[in-house]
């Protein structure tokens, strides 16, 4: 009866998928909500925002993709915090499972959700007029980068889930972190339109770098910045470094915190 880590993790991931099958409304925030954001910005705000050298809807998509994936950190955080509250974790821990399998299972399930989100967003994007203007290789690189970034976000979300004392805290903390990061950035408006102090915050914001990288790889309009730092001037390279670092850091702190919290 030897258990592999993968076997344990996929068994636990299947449990999350079963939760979604029973409560499909759990998916609202990764499906309908981003779709509404696309329509809102494309048709309500979009007309008022000018983007040099291109179509606003093409500019918008990278911003919405990264923002939605950033907000998706709340999903794993809620799931883990709820498991802790309900005592389910003690049950799993008294079974002959690998200790790291628990968070890995959540990660697998959440990544399936992230892929669904990306498909829905890009599908809606195509409908509102978003197109790529880059080589297949570059677009593929963009997709892979997006998945690595999503992985990093999920591991940060898992860490948050282990950290908080109750699921209620997740929403508050999540918003306080993600909201400024995604809005004080180039997600929806060119950075050069902001006051000087915000411009500095926006150019050093890794979210801006991620979005700029996606625009470059998709061949969508990239608006010039007036403040220069290395990452924003080399967005693709910097985005890879940030994303991989986020995955590594997220995995380490989430698993470490999980071990600490399940040791008494």
Partner 1 sequence: MTTTGTAARTDAPGTDPPLGITATGLGKQFGDLWALRDLDLAVAPGTVLGLLGHNGAGKTTAIRILTTLSQPSEGAATVAGFDVVREAASVRRHIGVASQQATVDGLMSARLNLVTIGRLYGLSKSVAGTRADELLVQLDLTDFATALVKTYSGGMRRRLDLAASLMGNPDVLFLDEPTTGLDPMSRTHLWDMLTELVRGGTTVILTTQYLEEADRMADDIVVLDHGRSVAHGTPAELKAQIGDDRLDVKVGSADAVQPAATAVAPFADRPPTLDPERHMITVPIKPGVRVVEIVRALDDAGIDAIDVTRREVTLDDVFVTLTGTSRRDDAETDQAEGNR
Nearest distance from residue 23's CB to partner 1, in Å?
7
Q: Which of 25, 28, 137, 264 binds partner 1 (CB under 8 A)?
A: 264
Q: Kindly identify the residues of this chain, within the stretch 94-123, that bind partner 1 according to CB under 8 A.
A: 94-97
Residue 95: φ, ψ to 5°: -95, 160
Q: Which of 45, 50, 52, 90 binds partner 1 (CB under 8 A)?
A: 90
Using CB under 8 A as the criterion, what x/- string covers residues 158-187 for binding partner 1?
A: ------------------------------
Nearest distance from residue 16's CB to partner 1, in Å?
10
CB of 97 or CB of 151, closer to partner 1 = 97
Nearest distance from residue 92's CB to partner 1, in Å?
7
Nearest distance from residue 256's CB to partner 1, in Å?
17
Total residues interacting with partner 1, rule: CB under 8 A: 26
Helix axes 206-218, 196-204, angle to 10 degrees: 70
Nearest to residue 249, comparing CAs of 239, 259, 261, 257? Answer: 257
d(CA 90, CA 14): 19
Position 260 contacts partner 1 (CB under 8 A): no
Nearest distance from residue 263's CB to partner 1, in Å?
7
d(CA 104, CA 90): 17
Nearest to residue 124, comparing CAs of 26, 28, 42, 211? Answer: 42
CB of 97 or CB of 205, closer to partner 1 = 97
DSSP annotation of 48 reads G
Q: Given the rule CB under 8 A, which of 47-55, 65-73, 84-92, 229-237 is the region that contacts partner 1?
A: 84-92
d(CA 21, CA 137): 36
Nearest to residue 258, comparing CAs of 132, 83, 125? Answer: 83
Q: Kindly identify the residues of this chain, within the stretch 4-43, that bind partner 1 according to CB under 8 A.
A: 7-8, 11-12, 14-15, 18-19, 22-23
Nearest to residue 177, comparing CAs of 156, 204, 191, 148? Answer: 156
- Residue 107 contacts by C-beta under 8 Å, 6 or more apart in sequence? 9, 76, 151, 154, 155, 158
Residues 21, 16, 78, 122, CA torsion sign? negative
Question: What tokens were used for 222?
Answer: 């990239």
Position 86 contacts partner 1 (CB under 8 A): yes
CB of 95 or CB of 136, closer to partner 1 = 95
CB of 6 or CB of 119, closer to partner 1 = 6
Position 227 contacts partner 1 (CB under 8 A): no
Positions touching partner 1 (CB under 8 A) are: 1-3, 7-8, 11-12, 14-15, 18-19, 22-23, 86-88, 90-97, 263-264
């Amino acid at each position: 009866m030897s258990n592999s880590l993968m076997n344990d993790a996929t068994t636990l991931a299947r449990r999350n998928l079963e939760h979604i099958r029973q409560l499909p409304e759990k998916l609202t925030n990764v499906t309908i909500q981003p779709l509404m954001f696309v329509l809102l910005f494309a048709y309500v705000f979009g007309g008022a925002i000018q983007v040099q050298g291109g179509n606003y809807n093409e500019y918008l998509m990278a911003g919405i993709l990264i923002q939605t994936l950033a907000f998706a950190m709340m999903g794993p955080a809620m799931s883990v915090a709820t498991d802790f509250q309900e005592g389910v974790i003690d049950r799993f821990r008294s079974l002959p499972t690998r200790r790291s399998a628990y968070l890995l299972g959540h990660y697998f399930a959440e990544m399936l959700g992230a892929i669904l989100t990306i498909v829905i967003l890009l599908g809606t994007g195509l409908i509102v007029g978003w197109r790529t203007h880059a080589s297949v290789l570059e677009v593929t690189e963009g997709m892979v980068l997006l998945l690595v970034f999503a992985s990093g976000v999920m591991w940060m979300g898992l860490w948050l889930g282990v950290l908080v004392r109750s699921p209620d805290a997740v929403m508050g903390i999540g918003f306080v972190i993600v909201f400024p990061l995604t809005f004080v950035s180039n997600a929806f408006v060119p950075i050069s339109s902001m006051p000087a102090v915000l411009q500095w915050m926006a150019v050093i914001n890794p979210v801006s770098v991620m979005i700029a990288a996606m625009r470059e790889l998709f061949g969508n309009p990239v608006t010039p910045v007036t403040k220069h730092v290395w990452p924003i001037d080399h967005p693709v390279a910097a985005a890879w470094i940030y994303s991989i670092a986020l995955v590594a850091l997220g995995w380490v702190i989430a698993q470490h915190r999980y071990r600490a919290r399940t040791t008494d």
